[in-house]
């Protein structure tokens, strides 16, 4: 699978298309979730993989899930976000390493982008996906199997009833 690092900035046309896509996916995502691909630059990729290797997360997807949840929880707390940003800036100011100019920074970033391999590393999930799992009912009483097969879910999950309508144990 070929993957390329993202371009610097989306075009206005691409941005508009992304906004429309987000709007069109909201209803389905509110019922079923959202799956998407993420490119992480080398530093973040190393950090995530190290966290997985240390057992902090089971896979990169779990790390992104947890971190997005934390970001969502911080969203209404502008004071905390401001304090985190202030501390980050302060750490930069306190850094005793010599600074670089904006031009030098941009040149380093350009070189780093050019040096990225054509194919980024790809994580392959080892856990089965939910729709790949099998359900075994050999020990369930016939009445329980019948009750489950005739049960209806909350109306918010009607799309799942469609998946069960022809199911036979």
The residue ranking higher by pLDDT, 5 or 107, is: 107
Q: How far apart are CA 107 and CA 102, in angstroms?
A: 9
The number of CA neighbours under 13 Å toward the Cβ of 36 is 12
Q: Are 74 and 81 in contact (CB under 8 A)?
A: yes
The pLDDT tens digits for 117-151 are 667 788 887 765 555 444 554 566 777 777 777 77
Average pLDDT score, the chain: 81
pTM of the model: 0.54
Instruction: Judge whether residue 24 has pLDDT over 80.
Output: yes
Q: Output the six-digit token pair for 87.
A: 């501390």
Give me the mean pLDDT over the 98-118 stretch.
84
Q: Measuring CA to CA, how many Å separate 155 from each of 28, 34, 159?
A: 14, 20, 9
Instruction: Judge whether residue 60 has pLDDT over 90.
Output: yes
The number of CA neighbours under 13 Å toward the Cβ of 29 is 9
């Amino acid at each position: 699978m070929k993957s390329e690092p993202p371009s610097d900035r989306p075009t206005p046309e691409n941005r508009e298309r992304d906004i429309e896509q987000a709007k069109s996916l909201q209803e389905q995502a509110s019922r079923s979730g959202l799956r998407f691909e993420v490119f992480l630059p080398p530093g973040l990729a190393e950090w995530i993989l190290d966290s997985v290797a240390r057992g902090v997360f089971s896979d990169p997807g779990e790390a992104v899930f947890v971190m997005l949840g934390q970001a969502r929880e911080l969203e209404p707390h502008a004071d905390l976000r401001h304090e985190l940003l202030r501390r980050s800036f302060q750490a930069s100011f306190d850094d005793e390493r010599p600074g670089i100019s904006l031009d030098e920074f941009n040149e380093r970033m350009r070189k780093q982008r050019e040096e990225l391999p054509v194919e980024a590393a790809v994580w392959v999930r080892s856990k089965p996906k939910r729709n790949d799992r099998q359900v075994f009912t050999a020990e369930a009483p016939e009445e329980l199997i019948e009750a489950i097969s005739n049960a209806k879910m909350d109306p918010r999950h009607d799309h799942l009833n469609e998946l069960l309508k022809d199911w036979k144990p």
